Every structure is written in C-alpha cells, then in structure tokens.
Homo-oligomer: A and B are copies of this chain.
Amino acid sequence: MARGDNSVLIVGSVALDSVETPTGKVERALGGAAVYSAVAASFFAAVRIVGVVGDDFPEEHLAFLISRGIDTSGLQVAKGKKTFHWQGAYLDDLNNAQTIKTELNVFENFKPELPSEYRLSKYVFLANIDPDLQLEVLDQIDSPQLVACDTMNFWIERKHPSLLNVLRKVDVAFMNDAEARLLTGQTNLNRAAHEIHKLGPNYVVIKKGEHGAVLYCDSDLCFMAAPYPLYEVVDPTGAGDTFAGGFMGYMAQAGVIDRDHLRRAVVYGSTLASFNVQDFSLNRLRTLTMNDINNRYEEFRRIVHFEPVE
C-alpha cells in the first residue's frame, strides 16, 4: 500500500517503561504514548513526533523511529536530564495497569516548539499527556484537517478545565470506557459518548479493551468493532496508543474523512493494537508487515460479517 502525502503530527510521552505482566517483565524498554502511536501510524503515513527525552535515551531507539520514517526533528533532547520513566504492573487484571512509579523527569519543564515544517501538518494526534501541552502544540499548527486527542483519568481529575479546552478544539476524542464514565458521570457508554460529543468532538471512539471499540459520528452510533480474539495477551501497554496511531495513520493515508473511512480506521486501529499486545514494548511492531496487517484486517471482516435478511 502506497503512503499518502499527508503526514501525521503526534505529540505525547516518549518513555522508558518497566513493566511486569503474568508472562514476564521488561526494564526500561522503549515506550510512551507518542512512540506507540507514531510507530503504529508509520505503517500508513509519514509521521512527525513532538516530545522530549533525556540524554540517557538510547541511540538505538532514535534509530528505530527514524527507520520507520518518523521525523524526529521535533523531539527535544534535554541535556543532563533523564527520560520519562513509567513503572507498572498488570498482575491481577490485564485490563488495568497498576502504576508503581511515574518519574516525569524531562516532562517537568517541557515547552514544545514545533519545527516550521511541522506547522503545516493536516493530521494531528494529541496523544496522552498534560492537556496544557496538547493545547500548546495545537496552537502552533496552521490549519489542521483532522485533530484527535487521547487522555487519561489523571488529567480528567487534575486538569479538568484544560481538558475541556482540548475537547472543544478536536474532531476525534479517543477514550477508554472507564475514562468516558469518569469524565461524564454516565454509566451507559452510549450516553457517555453523547455527553462527550456535546463537549466538542464530532467523532468519539470508546475503547473497551478486550471488548472492542465503538465509534460515534455526531450523536449516532456508527460502528462497533469486535475485539480480535487473542489467545494470550503478553503486555497490554500501548494498546490504546497503537489503536489511535493506526486510526490516524490510516485516515491520513486515505485523505478522505467520511464514515466509510472512519470505520476502516477503527479496524486498522484495532488491528495494530491486537498485534502490539502480543509482545512486550513495541517488539511485535518491529517485525510487522503491511501484509500481516491486511490479513488480520480481513480476518476481522470474516468473523463479524453476516448475510442480510433473506
């Protein structure tokens, strides 16, 4: 599949993650919302990343991003500082990470400054990060065509007004079920999605983890994606980020924003996420091919399609 002309700009955390799951563990492996989503998007489009790392960030990780066609000129290196480090475990429940330690390090004083060519980006993904940083990045972009955001419970609770500002300015909001309920106070996810739509986004995607994802277009439920039937989840870290990255990458490649392409974007997002959780860190994505992705996309079709009323 040929790459489109449109780049996807992504801002978010670039991290070293220490993660333990029932299957094993990794220490200071490559991670972060911007990294997961950028690599996922890179299967479909050129990607520009905005973020910051310390001078402890391994050269090989930068080389990997560049090898995926990701423009890292917007990735600052803060001398004498350490890269963001997240330590977490999924021991009782693969759907819920327990955070053991979050060391913000370089993110404590991060001021995003976009290289001039980044400012022309048409597809923008504000990955999970402080909503004030999401706004600072968005303000530097001239006339984006499709802007999406992700967030997490921490920002919903601690930076509510800033998050509402972000939501007013985006076209697509990605949230998992717990975040959607927390933000709106609605238990029913359809009602929660409607409340989020009223806050700004035309499109709301509720990610339900092992139960798939739902796309709302305006106030209409326009697509439900089944989960891919995995026999084992090795490490759920980055599932939501690879979902959003696959979604935005495909939309940039397609270059057309309509329900038909949004539905496919959800399936590509689900596909990328389903591969990503089959190994620690971004390991599965390192060897993944477009052929693997399209085969699984078609597998998704095979298991959900059925014939009309006779």
Given the complex, which residues of B lie within 8 Å of A310, measured CB to CB?
A: 1
Given the complex, which residues of B lie within 8 Å of A229, measured CB to CB?
A: 190, 214, 221, 224
Is A226 engaged at the interface, CB distance under 8 Å to the other chain? yes
Contact indicator per residue, chain A 200-232, by CB within 8 Å of chain B (1) or not (0): 000000001001101000000111111101111
Is A117 engaged at the interface, CB distance under 8 Å to the other chain? no
Given the complex, which residues of B lie within 8 Å of A212, measured CB to CB?
A: 211, 226
Closest beta carbon of chain B to A126's beta carbon, Å: 26
Closest residue of B by beta carbon distance from A215: B303
Closest residue of B by beta carbon distance from A227: B224
CB contacts under 8 Å to B, within A250-294, are 260, 263-264, 266-267, 294
Is A142 engaged at the interface, CB distance under 8 Å to the other chain? no
CA of A264 to CA of B267 in the docked complex: distance in angstroms? 22
Indicate if the CB atoms of A231 and B188 lie closer than 8 Å: yes
Closest beta carbon of chain B to A7's beta carbon, Å: 20
Is A297 engaged at the interface, CB distance under 8 Å to the other chain? yes
Closest residue of B by beta carbon distance from A300: B306
Indicate if the CB atoms of B306 and A222 lie closer than 8 Å: no
Is A100 engaged at the interface, CB distance under 8 Å to the other chain? no
CA of A77 to CA of B208 in the docked complex: distance in angstroms? 48
Contact indicator per residue, chain A 1-30, by CB within 8 Å of chain B (1) or not (0): 100000000000000000000000000000
Is A191 engaged at the interface, CB distance under 8 Å to the other chain? yes
Given the complex, which residues of B lie within 8 Å of A226, measured CB to CB?
A: 212, 224, 226, 304
CA of A214 to CA of B304 in the docked complex: distance in angstroms? 10
Given the complex, which residues of B lie within 8 Å of A190, measured CB to CB?
A: 229-231
Given the complex, which residues of B lie within 8 Å of A267, measured CB to CB?
A: 306
Indicate if the CB atoms of A294 and B309 lie closer than 8 Å: yes
Is A298 engaged at the interface, CB distance under 8 Å to the other chain? yes
Given the complex, which residues of B lie within 8 Å of A298, measured CB to CB?
A: 308-309
Given the complex, which residues of B lie within 8 Å of A309, measured CB to CB?
A: 294, 297-298
Indicate if the CB atoms of B306 and A221 lie closer than 8 Å: no
Contact indicator per residue, chain A 54-72, by CB within 8 Å of chain B (1) or not (0): 0000000000000000000
Closest residue of B by beta carbon distance from A267: B306
Of A190, A222, A229, A297, the most chain B CB neighbours within 10 A belong to: A229
CA of A1 to CA of B310 in the docked complex: distance in angstroms? 9
The one of B221, B225, B306 that contacts A223, using a Cβ cutoff of 8 Å: B306
Is A111 engaged at the interface, CB distance under 8 Å to the other chain? no
Is A305 engaged at the interface, CB distance under 8 Å to the other chain? yes
- 8 additional A-B residue pairs with CB within 8 Å, beyond A263-B307, A294-B309, A304-B305: A190-B230, A208-B211, A224-B229, A224-B304, A263-B306, A264-B306, A297-B309, A298-B308
